[in-house]
Chain A
């Protein structure tokens, strides 16, 4: 799985939290500290392995747990139209 920010989104980070406006401008999604860290990583396309590696280097978390949470997070953002996801990519 590889993914990247949907380039049609707009966003800023305020006091450590990213606020992301979906394409079309309706509503705002707020990301927590880890979510913001991931969001800022994926300005260019990343693999799940890339992101998990960065999370484990930055936060105290086991790789399996990081991967599990990251997949759920990516699916959530993808469902909101905030990411472009390529499931088949290596």
Chain B
């Protein structure tokens, strides 16, 4: 009469139920955009606007709980610049969210590590940009940040807190990714590498200069552990393409089971996609999530609606981001030019079963990619 489902099946059913019922199961909540570092690759634009107060955040958390949000990730800026972070986490845990925090960890002391453990924060995502102080601190522009971050990771692990090492791959560190992998393992963290460097949220494309060269990116894809994880994903997408499910699917979970709330209380499609549904200082979360035409526009998009991507031979290799497409190509339905480049490199690596030869890479560098045919006007920020 009464049953418990198996955990593995339950996670899949929970996600599909949330997507079908349009429940914002996961929310990335930017509680500040102030930061103690000044990283070269940061896509955020700092402002002097009045960030959400503790009372406003408490009200928003209650609304999210009512809306069905379960997974709450607190981000910044740097969340630990807020002296009331502990009170925010306490409130979130009282409302029975699964709480994780994205941080550079520089400001963490023993007191913070203890309460993170006591309050049951399930994961702390710590950004690491290099395996040495020379590489890492060059990105943060703060000497000493590498030492502080690594000390905090050690302290968090000793306190029993689960730490994930978040590693954006760029020109300055991609050659050292194996050293980063080793560092993460030595520290008892799960590493996550992200080869995508987004442009600024104000559409400034200067950050594109930080993206890895093709040969370094291909070497990363060719690493035995990396290639296997991508191969499994590509095979899954091949199957979805064969059955037609890929074209019927949505590009990502944005506005289906996920959204972003920024430091001013604006509900956005994603941190990477600055389409704003409305302000929580003016309307309730449920009103914005349910009624916003801006969010509905994102929600309606299916892969089959992408006029260039749906015809593209790289589609099953592609990790296109709607935010990158919107900010860089100026069109929510356009290819993301950098995703096209990564997809071509990944296909070359998977076809070869390892690092492609120099002639293949040179050929890819010359070939026009689908994204280069896309419109290139700047988007109007909603």
Whether chain B is bound by chain A comes out as: yes
B2–A21 contact, CB under 8 A? Answer: no
Q: In chain B between 1 and 27, which residues have their CB closer than 8 angstroms to a CB of chain A? A: 1-5, 7-11, 13-14, 17-18, 21, 23, 25
CA distance A25 to B97 in the complex (A): 10
B interface, how many residues as a size bin? 20 to 34
Residues of A within 8 A of B14 (CB): 14, 19, 28, 30
Contact of A44 with B by CB under 8 A: no
Contact of B69 with A by CB under 8 A: yes
Contact of B188 with A by CB under 8 A: no
CA distance A23 to B10 in the complex (A): 16
Q: In chain A between 40 and 76, which residues have their CB closer than 8 angstroms to a CB of chain B? A: 61, 65-66, 69-70, 72-73, 76
State the Cβ distance, A62 to closest chain B Cβ, in Å: 11
Residues of A within 8 A of B65 (CB): 12
**Given A21-B98, A27-B11: A12 in contact with B162 (beta carbons within 8 A):** no
Residues of B within 8 A of A12 (CB): 25, 65, 68-70, 96
Q: Report A1-39 CB contacts with B as 1/0, cut-off 8 Å.
A: 000000011111111010101011101111110110010
Among B10, B18, B23, B162, the residue within 8 A (CB) of A30 is B10
A14–B18 contact, CB under 8 A? Answer: yes
B5–A29 contact, CB under 8 A? Answer: yes
CA distance A10 to B123 in the complex (A): 14
B4–A31 contact, CB under 8 A? Answer: yes
On chain A, the number of residues with a Cβ less than 8 Å from chain B's Cβ atoms is: 33
Among A25, A29, A72, the residue within 8 A (CB) of B122 is A25
Contact of B354 with A by CB under 8 A: no
Residues of B within 8 A of A61 (CB): 1
State the Cβ distance, B302 to closest chain A Cβ, in Å: 23
CA distance A25 to B21 in the complex (A): 23
State the Cβ distance, A54 to closest chain B Cβ, in Å: 13
State the Cβ distance, A16 to closest chain B Cβ, in Å: 10
Among B4, B96, B98, the residue within 8 A (CB) of A77 is B4
* Leading 10 A-B pairs by shortest Cβ distance: A25-B122, A27-B7, A30-B10, A30-B5, A73-B2, A10-B98, A28-B10, A69-B1, A19-B14, A12-B70
Q: Which A residues lie at the B interface, using CB under 8 A?
A: 8-15, 17, 19, 21, 23-25, 27-32, 34-35, 38, 61, 65-66, 69-70, 72-73, 76-77, 80
Q: Which B residues lie at the A interface, using CB under 8 A?
A: 1-5, 7-11, 13-14, 17-18, 21, 23, 25, 65, 68-70, 96-98, 100, 120, 122-123, 162
